[in-house]
Amino acid sequence: MGEIQRSHHKAEEKCHLLLRKNQSIGEVLHKQTELEQSNYEIRLRATIRSCRFLLKNALPFRGHDETEKSNNKGLFIEILSLIREDNEKIFNVTLENAPKNEKLTSPTIQKDIVNCFSKEIIKSICDEIGKDVSGILVDESSDVSKKEQMTIVLRYVNRLGIVKERFIGVVHVLDTSSLTLKAAIDTVFSNNLTIDQVRNHKIFIPLI
C-alpha cells in the first residue's frame, strides 16, 4: 500500500469506515433525519400550546413590533418565550435557535393551527348532536371595513336534556340575499352536518 499518505492507503481507510454500520453515510443521514424530526415535533408542540392558550382566553396573537429588539413582541411570541424559559429542549429548537425556514411562528402557520382547532371543535359539537336535530341562529352585520359577515350559532338539546348554544363561526358573504346566506350555511355544514337536521331555524338580518 505504500506510505500512509498515499492515495491507496487513504482509499482503503475510507472503505473500512464506510463498512462500519455506525459510521456509514446512510446511518449518519438517518440519525440526522431522526434528530430533525424530533426537533420539529418539539417546536410544533410548543407552537400549538401557545395558540391553544391564546384561543382559550380569546387573546390576540400578533404584536406591532416582533423584531428581536422589541420589548413586547406580541402575546404569541411572548408566551412561546415563556414556555421555553425553563425547558432546555424547547429552548434549543425554537425562535432564534430554529432553522430560518422552520420557526413555525408565521401568521400563516398560526392560522393553519387555529383552523385545525376550529375543525376539531365543530366536529365535537356535531358528535354531541349526533343524528338529532338542532336549531340555527344566523345574524348578519358589516364590520368596520364595510365587509358583510354572518355569524352562525347552533342551538340543540344534549343527551342530558340541557339546552346548549354553540358558536360555529363567522363567514364573510358578498351580500345579504337569502340565496347567498343559504349557500354560506350549506358550505359550513358540508363537512359535519346536513341542513336536514336543522329545525325552526331563524335568520336575523338588521335593517340598517
Choose the final residue of a domain: 72, 105, 138. 105
Helices assigned H by DSSP within 57-192 = 75-85, 88-91, 107-129, 178-189
Q: Domains in the chain: how many in total?
A: 2
What's the CA gap between 148 and 38, in Å, rounded? 44
**How many C-beta atoms lie closer than 10 Å to residue 205's C-beta?**
13
Range of the structural domain that residue 39 is part of = 7-105
Does residue 195 lie in a domain region?
Answer: yes
**CB-based burial of residue 103 (10 Å sphere; 0-12 exposed, 13-18 middle, 19+ buried)?**
middle
At 53, is the pLDDT very low, low, confident or very high (cuts 50, 70, 90)? very high
Amino acid at site 87: N
Nearest in space to 153 (alpha carbons), one of 163, 173, 139: 139
Alpha-helical segments (H) within the chain: 7-19, 25-56, 75-85, 88-91, 107-129, 178-189
pLDDT in tens, 87-141: 888 898 888 888 888 888 888 889 999 888 888 888 888 788 777 777 777 777 7
Inside any domain, residue 2: no
Q: At 115, list the grid cell.
A: 383552523
Retrieve residue 96's grid coordinates. Answer: 432564534
Task: Kindly state the greatest CA–CA separation across the chain.
Answer: 97
Instruction: Answer positive or negative: Cα dihedral of 53, 59, 62, 64.
Output: negative
Answer yes or no: pTM beyond 0.75.
no
Q: Is residue 173 part of a domain?
A: yes
Q: Find, among 68, 137, 141, 76, the residue nearest to 105 by Cα.
A: 76
Q: Which residues pair with 141 in a beta bridge?
A: 149
Residue 136 lies in a domain: yes
Burial of 46 (0-12, 13-18, 19+ CB in 10 A): buried
Centre a 10 Å sphere on the Cβ of residue 154 and count the other Cβ atoms it contains.
23
* Co-location of 78 and 141 in the same domain: no
- Most confidently predicted of 1-5, 132-136, 190-194: 132-136
Given this model, what pLDDT does residue 208 score? 39
* Helix, coil or strand: residue 22: helix
Does one domain contain both 154 and 197? yes
Q: In this predicted model, which residue has the larger pLDDT, 48 or 206?
A: 48
